[in-house]
Amino acid sequence: MSVDATTVRRIAHLARIAVSDTEVPHLQGELNAMLAFVEQLSEVNVEGVEPMTSVTPMEMKKRLDVVNDGEIADDIVANAPDTADHFFMVPKVVE
């Protein structure tokens, strides 16, 4: 399988990465090189094979459903590019 220029733009948008028109041909080439490389997996017989979900056979650990952290709003927003009163500020979302 390979991707065309339209697909490259669609993937970039899905990944939320702005891509200029001049970058598309180059990216298309790189993505197709990777897709060509992984193509050899199609020759493996995976009939009846379970997909791996956990590399170590262990049961998912659970903890008690209790509050064990918090009251650190100053820490949470300390690295944010734009905040006001412990809120993250973003461009207008709802008109």
User: With binding defined as CB under 8 A, does residue 3 bind other proteins?
Assistant: yes
Restricting to residues 20-59, which ones interact with other proteins according to CB under 8 A?
27, 30-31, 33-35, 37-42, 44, 46, 49-56, 58
CA pair distance 76, 67, nearest whole angstrom: 17
User: With binding defined as CB under 8 A, does residue 73 bind other proteins?
Assistant: no
User: With binding defined as CB under 8 A, does residue 11 bind other proteins?
Assistant: yes
By beta-carbon proximity to other proteins, the closer residue of 70 and 91 is 91
At a CB cut-off of 8 Å and minimum separation 6, what does 62 contact? none
CA angle 49, 52, 56 (to 5 degrees): 130
Contact 83, 77 (CB under 8 A): yes
CA pair distance 31, 10, nearest whole angstrom: 13
User: With binding defined as CB under 8 A, does residue 64 bind other proteins?
Assistant: no
Q: Which residues lie near other proteins (CB under 8 A)? A: 1, 3, 7-8, 11-19, 27, 30-31, 33-35, 37-42, 44, 46, 49-56, 58, 60-61, 63, 72, 75-82, 88, 90-93
